[in-house]
Amino acid sequence: MVEDLHIDPWSSTQSTDYDNIISQFGLQSLSEIEVPNPSYLHRRGLIFAHRDLDVVLSAQAFGDPFGVLTGLMPSGRMHLGHKMVVDQISWFQSLGADITIAVADLESNATRGLSLERARKVALEEYVANYAALGLDPESTQVYFQSSRPLVQKMAFTLGRRTNLSELEAIYGFSGDTNLAHVQAPLVQAGDILHPMLDEFGGLRPIVVPVGVDQDPHLRLTRGLAAKSNWFNLNSRKDGGITIGLSIQDDNAAALGVAADGKLDRKVRQSVIDKIVADLTDLGFADILANAKHGSVQIPSATHSDRSLIRMKLLQLERSMGGLGLLQPASTYHRFAVGLTGDKMSSSLPNSAIFLTDEISVVERKIKQAFSGGQPTVEEHRRLGGNPDVDVAYQYMMYFFEEDDKFLAEVNADYRSGKILAGEMKQLCIDRAGDWLSNHKELRAQTAHLVNDFLADDAK
Ligand code: TRP
């Protein structure tokens, strides 16, 4: 019997049963994919799952454009958990991705009561300043505010047509007394995630969203909305091959050859099918079976690996006919470093996390008080060994502070064997945290002048 997981973005607890999460939410395990030039997050298994990352990496391999979208909640302070997302973005950026960062100021205004002015200040001074220090390249990064990008808000409305309260209830656990700001926020967030692929913001290309697994409900919603808005469906056939079907909706019926009286408009329908066939011929397929009346096109020789190419062509066709042409966003999921208090790290719980601008003395105190995987007495520890899997000091070195994989492996083994004591582990972590934080402080000073360069034109 598997535990029935409830994951929601607003909860203060979190499941760390990652295998269960993968199977219950239909994620793909990252171990099945080979990533180029893996970062520490990949090498240490800290990014454990994805959806459609292969689509993104194949664009990268072909030298085609691809983008990353992430968002920040401009309330509270930036902690080390947030840094993991930034490190992932940097890695994608090093592979050639363009980066879009949403400041969720409408969301923080509606759900946390922050003024837009305050949200702006927090976003720039607390978040973007740290992003600059962490090495993001302003050249290919665009930070924008939800409140000053009308297209994002418009998309929230447009996409809202394709879902309903029951679906939001199923995805988020909403009920009758849920504040509607919590209903609107995910729709705006869907706008955040999908709009970079509109022609005005970079055009059709794969977009990947790196998140902690608690944000997956947003991705499930957004992927569903994108798929439901598509004019052309792609289905793999049991006996091999791919079938393309038309998805007739209120706003595309006329364009797809369904007249106002519901009757088939043969001429229009035939021209749609002809366009599909022409596109497929362009891609090099020869055996194409079209049925205009049913609105279906079959390509028996197409294989699974042809899907992406065909899909992109169809999305372009949809756009040329007046549709949105949205590709489902890809995503990657990272594990959570345990909070200092044992729960989720949270900006609103100062003792649960290490913040990027904490004083070293504060960090020292926090690590000394953190949960340890050591034994109660030295004698027992030497005899039974410690458990690095639950030891916050060890975990923080692995997640945040130690670059050397080999050194980590040694520390891990020596802790298990009882050679390293719990206090010694804490001191190793404190030393590294101190180095990291003082270096970061210096970098913040050196990169402070870059903050404005990260802003998109509509954010200046
Ligand atoms: N809701 C996210 C948070 O709580 C912030 C956010 C807004 C976001 N838009 C996004 C995250 C798009 C990822 C993608 O932090």
Local structure of residue 262 (DSSP, 8 states): S
pLDDT tens readout for residues 117-174: 999 999 999 999 999 999 999 999 999 999 999 999 999 999 999 999 999 999 999 9
Question: Does the beta carbon of 76 sit less than 6 angstroms from any atom of ligand 1?
Answer: no
Question: Does the beta carbon of 209 sit less than 6 angstroms from any atom of ligand 1?
Answer: yes
314 pLDDT higher than 70: yes
Cβ(215)–Cβ(25) below 8 Å:
no
Calculate how far, in angstroms, residue 72's C-alpha sits from the geometric centre of ligand 1. 5
**Number of C-alpha atoms within 13 angstroms, CB side, residue 95?**
24
Among protein residues, the one with the nearest Cα to ligand 1's atom 10 is 71
Among protein residues, the one with the nearest Cα to ligand 1's atom 1 is 73
Calculate how far, in angstroms, residue 215's C-alpha sits from the geometric centre of ligand 1. 8
Calculate how far, in angstroms, residue 209's C-alpha sits from the geometric centre of ligand 1. 10
Q: Which of 14, 112, 189 to mutate to test the pocket of ligand 1 (most atoms within 8 A of CB)?
A: 189
Find all residues with CB under 8 Å of 211, minimum gap 6, and list them: 70, 85, 218, 219, 331, 332, 333, 334
Question: Does the beta carbon of 192 sit less than 6 angstroms from any atom of ligand 1?
Answer: yes
Sheet holding 242-246, edge to edge: 232-236, 242-246, 296-299, 289-291
Find all residues with CB under 8 Å of 449, minimum gap 6, and list them: none
SS3 412: helix
pLDDT tens readout for residues 67-118: 999 999 998 899 999 999 999 999 999 999 999 999 999 999 999 999 999 9
Question: Does the beta carbon of 189 sit less than 6 angstroms from any atom of ligand 1?
Answer: yes
Calculate how far, in angstroms, residue 189's C-alpha sits from the geometric centre of ligand 1. 6
CA distances from 51 to 93, 141, 293, 436 (A): 19, 23, 35, 32
- Give one DSSP letter per residue of 209-242, joined into a string: EEEEGGGHHHHHHHHHHHHHH-SEEEEE-TTSSE
Structure tokens at 329: 């966003």
Between helix 181-194 and helix 150-160 the angle, nearest 10°, is: 110
Q: Which of 69, 107, 159, 207 to mutate to test the pocket of ligand 1 (most atoms within 8 A of CB)?
A: 107
The closest-lying atom of ligand 1 relative to the alpha carbon of residue 188 is 9
Among protein residues, the one with the nearest Cα to ligand 1's atom 12 is 71
| Chain centroid to CA 243 | 30
342 pLDDT higher than 80: no
Residue 291 CB neighbour total at 10 angstroms: 10
- The closest alpha carbon to 276, from 303, 256, 252, 297, belongs to 297
Structure tokens at 403: 């670059």
SS3 332: strand
Among protein residues, the one with the nearest Cα to ligand 1's atom 7 is 71
Say how many residues make up the chain: 460
> Can you give the C-alpha Rg of the chain in angstroms?
25
Strand 47-51 vs strand 28-29: parallel, antiparallel, or unpaired?
antiparallel
CA max distance for the chain:
86
pLDDT tens readout for residues 31-54: 889 999 999 999 999 999 999 999
| Chain centroid to CA 384 | 40
Question: Does the beta carbon of 104 sit less than 6 angstroms from any atom of ligand 1?
Answer: yes
Cβ(105)–Cβ(53) below 8 Å:
no
CA–CA distance, 98 with 182 (Å, rounded to integer) = 29
SS3 246: strand
Q: Provide the pLDDT for residue 13.
A: 63
Q: Which helix (H) or strand (E) holds 172?
A: helix 165-172
Question: Does the beta carbon of 214 sit less than 6 angstroms from any atom of ligand 1?
Answer: no
Among protein residues, the one with the nearest Cα to ligand 1's atom 4 is 73
Distance separating the N- and C-terminal Cα atoms of the chain: 53
Share of the chain above pLDDT 90, in %: 87
Local structure of residue 175 (DSSP, 8 states): -
Calculate how far, in angstroms, residue 201's C-alpha sits from the geometric centre of ligand 1. 18
Q: Which of 73, 214, 331 to mutate to test the pocket of ligand 1 (most atoms within 8 A of CB)?
A: 73
Question: Does the beta carbon of 102 sit less than 6 angstroms from any atom of ligand 1?
Answer: yes
CA–CA distance, 30 with 166 (Å, rounded to integer) = 31
Dihedral sign, CA of 422, 423, 424, 430? Answer: positive
Q: Provide the pLDDT for residue 345.
A: 85
For tokens 């056939």, name the residue.
Answer: 237
CA–CA distance, 331 with 309 (Å, rounded to integer) = 19
2 pLDDT higher than 60: no
Question: Does the beta carbon of 78 sit less than 6 angstroms from any atom of ligand 1?
Answer: no
- What are the backbone dihedrals phi and psi of residue 388, each rounded to the nearest 5 degrees, phi first? -65, -20
pLDDT tens readout for residues 262-286: 999 999 999 999 999 999 999 999 9
